[in-house]
Chain A
């Protein structure tokens, strides 16, 4: 009896040690590239990396843990690259200790989805959106909404705004847009992955949480990714852009938002875009990685594999973007990305010729 006990016990111990041993080190020898970060482009990355694996026999493991988590993992050097919906802040770039490069992979958009009888397509101005989410507009037949929607009979229904309860790149793009387009928002609410929503405003976790609440609640309005609204057949509205036009969110109008001058480091915010045909709540999502790849015992071969993957994702890999309802990169943005990948080094020497 005791022998079996101690046998079981020692086996458990051995097993535990093996587990600890496995989690403790990075698989540096085998060629599985590791990435982590933003959940918004995760469906696209899964599709792209799967296609890449079939073609080039290189496994890429991308975990959707959120942009903030991705940046943390990259700084801790536990991943080869990370995904983020917001360009890294000055503070984050400093804490990385070494130069970090960004390349955009696609564009996403945030739309206003709502639950109203008859699901009319409504027009929203920045002022009405800010008013709804700051709690100053409380009824659907508010004159501010009515004046932007002539000919549509708006019900006398209480408005239930719903925001993302989890920190999220979607919230970042949404609040960044409002801060640029509306002064009251800029002063009271600010920009962030989570902001101080007014008391009484409902929060729900993730796009599914928002969608679930909006579908269940007549009069509810929330913001979700375009992809999500289309897939779930939700009613969503047009938004007035800087040029004064009400723009319907679509792949074309989101792509058009990037028709602005792109800086060399691709650090550009597309929200409230100057482009006349662009949907104003759009933004890039980026892949980030270290410029100097010789760190933490990484081989040159592994670094070169990463560079090739990145090159592919802004080149041939772009053909996977549109079928999944993301907006592809413009030629200019792709060209800038190629240049950035070309600046990656190993021991100071360029990685790719």
Chain B
């Protein structure tokens, strides 16, 4: 099979890559694009470790074909901080010990950011149901939920 050429935008940068027609977006990110911040925990859309946004919609990149990114705007964990300035969620995760092993952290942050963009004032229940697609086996979610709610409160105050 001949490889397919794809033009897309990743974290605001125009990007081009070659992929197999059956490669997932996660394969492309971690392979030719070298963006290994998105993780593969299951390859079946159950763990959320590969969460990215496509035109501001939160998706599991393991469930999207790489060729489908043609012409779209993708954002990954690598695009979350602005240079040296962390996104408030990243800062809060650090301060509140909302990560342990870190394998789910990229996906958790991308998903949490997508939540706060839609709902700047989520209830605890809303945070919990929004993040229900992102598995974490280390933290019991307690500190993650608190970090997201605290960040939301801080961002609203600004």
Do the two chains belong together in a single complex? Answer: no
